Structure formats: structure tokens, C-alpha cells
């Protein structure tokens, strides 16, 4: 995995046996629309190991983004259980869950969600401001994260001065800067042209292949889904199967 706090010993980490990181057991999600219940997820069972790159593939309305939000602690299941590193997420209080997200997760969104009045470096630095850390250490981590995504020469550029692909690379750097256990990517190429999309997928593949990062990515693009080490297909809130 990438270690931003200390020099990475990448080969040793990649050679370690894979262990279960996230266990999803019988997860359902029900919404009430008007007076009618609508089942979005219908008993999802999925085990994700440390160091995997799992893609969630399915058409609009299949429940993949809902499942991703539940995995990321942004939503709660109606029933079922999520265990992360052996810890039951349902047992966490609101503040504990926020702390868990901050320490373990990095999010990459389809719409980048950069702050327009901040430079690329300042956007990447934002998650670090929530932690006790020296300015020097924050700067080192920001520079490292932007170097990883190939934007060392764009530190002082604002989002309006960047292409869509570059904005998404800043978003990835921001997701990396806390050295998260898990990267969660929701349609990261959805707003990009084909060339920029391939560049983003190449970066994510490198993070998985070369640094052992665990990644879960939602996509409706068949070609993008092939970048993962395992593809999980969803339709109508149910798992249809898996492929490697």
C-alpha cells in the first residue's frame, strides 16, 4: 500500500497474505416512496479482501451506488451486517463512524467535488486539516499525493484552470492524502472523455497493482469494469454473479 506517513516498503506489503477486509452479510435497503416500500438492495453478501480491486457493475437503478454509500458509512442498511477489519460498523456512534471514515476511507466522486476557490494543493490538503499534523508534514503528504497522480506541476492551479481529467486526478490525490485503507470510487470516469477516462483507470490500476491499495469502484462501463481484479454484477438490487 502507499504509505504517506513513512517510507513505503511496498514489496513486503504486496507479498503479505490477503485477509478479509470487508464482510457484507445479508444487506438490504428499503425506502418508502409515497406509501409504498421500495427495496433497493435485496440480501447482498460480499467479502472483499485486503488488496483487491473490486468493480460493481450494473445498469442505473441496480443498487450499486446505494451499496457503495452503505460501504462508505454514508448510509445505513435496513437490515444485514457490515464488518470492516473485524469491527461491526453498526456498533459505532455517529462520531465514531465519522472518525472511522476519516481514518480508513478515501472517496473519489464522479463530479470531483473540488472547492473552486482553492488551488489543487489546497484541495488535497483539506482532509489533513482535521488531523493534528505539522504544516511541514501536510505539505509533504500533499506533494507526494499529487506526484503519484502526475500533477506535481499543477500545485498552484485552480480547478477552473484544469481539464476534467486533471480535476479528477486532484480528487484522487485528495482521497490518497490520508493513506486510506480503502478507496471508494463512484463512477470516476463518468464525466470524462475516453482518453481522460483511460488515464484515470490507469492511475487506479497502478494504485492497486503497484501499491496494493484496496479499491471498490462503481461503474456502468464494461471496459472500465475490466480494470478490476474482480467484477461483481448487480441488477434490481441483487447480485447476479462475479467474474475475475
User: pLDDT by residue (tens digit) across 135-187?
Assistant: 999 999 999 999 999 999 999 999 999 999 999 999 999 999 999 999 999 99
Residue 6 lies in a domain: no
Q: What is the pLDDT of residue 172?
A: 98
pTM of the model: 0.89
Q: What is the pLDDT of residue 222?
A: 86
Q: What is the pLDDT of residue 244?
A: 64
Residue 7 lies in a domain: no
Which band of pLDDT confidence, cut at 50, 70 and 90, is reported for residue 7?
very low
Residue 85 lies in a domain: yes
**Interatomic CA distance for residues 160 and 70, integer angstroms:** 32
Neighbour-count burial for 142-159, b at 16+ CB within 10 Å, e otherwise: bbbbbebbebeebbebbb
Residue 42 lies in a domain: yes
Residue 29 lies in a domain: yes
Structural domain count, the chain? 1
Task: Kindly report the CATH number assigned to the domain that includes residue 109.
Answer: 3.40.50.300
Cβ 216 vs Cβ 68: under 8 Å: yes
Residue 46 lies in a domain: yes
82: left (phi over 0), alpha (psi -120 to 50) or beta: beta
Residue 123 lies in a domain: yes
User: pLDDT at residue 216 above 50?
Assistant: yes
Domain hosting residue 148, numbered range: 21-243
Residue 135 lies in a domain: yes
Q: What is the pLDDT of residue 91?
A: 87
DSSP-based three-state secondary structure for 201: helix
Amino acid at each position: 500500500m502507499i504509505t504517506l506517513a513513512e517510507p513505503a516498503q511496498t514489496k513486503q506489503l504486496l507479498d503479505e497474505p490477503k485477509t478479509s477486509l470487508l464482510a457484507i452479510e445479508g444487506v438490504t435497503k428499503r425506502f418508502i416512496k409515497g406509501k409504498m416500500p421500495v427495496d433497493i438492495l435485496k440480501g447482498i453478501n460480499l467479502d472483499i479482501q485486503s488488496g483487491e480491486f473490486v468493480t460493481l457493475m450494473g445498469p442505473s437503478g441496480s443498487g450499486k451506488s446505494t451499496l457503495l454509500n452503505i460501504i462508505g458509512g454514508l448510509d445505513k442498511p435496513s437490515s444485514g451486517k457490515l464488518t470492516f477489519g473485524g469491527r461491526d460498523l453498526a456498533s459505532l456512534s455517529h462520531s465514531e463512524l465519522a472518525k472511522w471514515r476519516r481514518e480508513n476511507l478515501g472517496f473519489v466522486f464522479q463530479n470531483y467535488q473540488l472547492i473552486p476557490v482553492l488551488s489543487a494543493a489546497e484541495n488535497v490538503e483539506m482532509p489533513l486539516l482535521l488531523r493534528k499534523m505539522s504544516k511541514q508534514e501536510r505539505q509533504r503528504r500533499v506533494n507526494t499525493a499529487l506526484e503519484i497522480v502526475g500533477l506535481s506541476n499543477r500545485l498552484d492551479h485552480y480547478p477552473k484552470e484544469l481539464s476534467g481529467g486533471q480535476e479528477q486526478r486532484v480528487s484522487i490525490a485528495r482521497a490518497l492524502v490520508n493513506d486510506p485503507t480503502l478507496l471508494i470510487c463512484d463512477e470516476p470516469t463518468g464525466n470524462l472523455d475516453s482518453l481522460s477516462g483511460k488515464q484515470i483507470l490507469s492511475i487506479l490500476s497502478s494504485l492497486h497493482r503497484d501499491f496494493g491499495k484496496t479499491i471498490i469502484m462503481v461503474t456502468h462501463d464494461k471496459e472500465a469494469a475490466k480494470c478490476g481484479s474482480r467484477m461483481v454484477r448487480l441488477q434490481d438490487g441483487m447480485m447476479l454473479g462475479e467474474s475475475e
